[in-house]
Amino acid sequence: MPPRLSARRLFLVILFFLGVSLLVSLHHRFSWVPSRTTPMQADPEPDDELVVMASVPSIVQNYERVNSEETEPTEKQGRPWFMAGGTEYPTNYKGPPRLFPDQADGDRVVDQLMYVPEDYQGYDTPEKVILAYNGLGPWGQKSGSASFHGCPVNRCTLTDDRSKGVLVK
């Protein structure tokens, strides 16, 4: 016989789960609630002046760091090739690559996508075959190298023919 469900027991179970969800939300600082940021006011109130004065040293440090970075020549003025309307394409990188988390100063993903090794010879390298094992239909791509025409990686081709794929053991 199934257990009896009383109104009191149902109320206690609901209250228990609400309490547990409240404790979890407090632990995660209500991350599910969207936070609204307000723009800075033009006229700070007296209480706001204390906050501004407390953050002045960090602003000065950031200003000094930005000014020291501005002394280095920057080549990236436009948007990178992988963004919509991107015009900047990577060139051969000279010097040690800064691609790993402990080496990168800025956005590591952008650095990795804009990296071309110094000794890269473009059309002298053999074409790489990317095998879509379950077919190209779900990916919305056609077989061949047409998918890579706007990309600096132009020595790749897509295929769904398993006989053309290289088996690596």
What would the pLDDT profile of 81-130 be if each residue is shown by its tens digit? 778 887 887 777 776 776 676 776 777 777 777 777 777 766 677 778 88
87, 79 contact by CB (below 8 A):
yes
157: enclosing H helix or E strand: strand 156-159
Instruction: Give the per-residue pLDDT at 18.
Output: 95
Return d(Cα 159, Cα 143) in angstroms, integer. 5
Q: Is 63 a residue whose pLDDT tops 90?
A: no
130-159 tens-digit pLDDT? 888 888 888 888 888 888 777 766 678 888
Q: How confident is residue 48, by pLDDT bands cut at 50, 70 and 90?
A: very low
Q: Of the candidates 132, 130, 103, 127, which has an alpha carbon nearest to the alpha carbon of residue 115?
A: 103
Two tokens, residue 28: 């995660």
Query: Which is higher by pLDDT, 55 or 130?
Result: 130
Q: Where are the domains of the chain?
A: 86-120, 126-169
Quick check: 20 pLDDT over 80?
yes
Question: Nearest 5°: phi and psi at 128?
Answer: -95, 140
Identify which has the larger pLDDT, 35 or 20. 20
Does residue 65 have a pLDDT over 60? no
pTM greater than 0.95 (yes/no): no
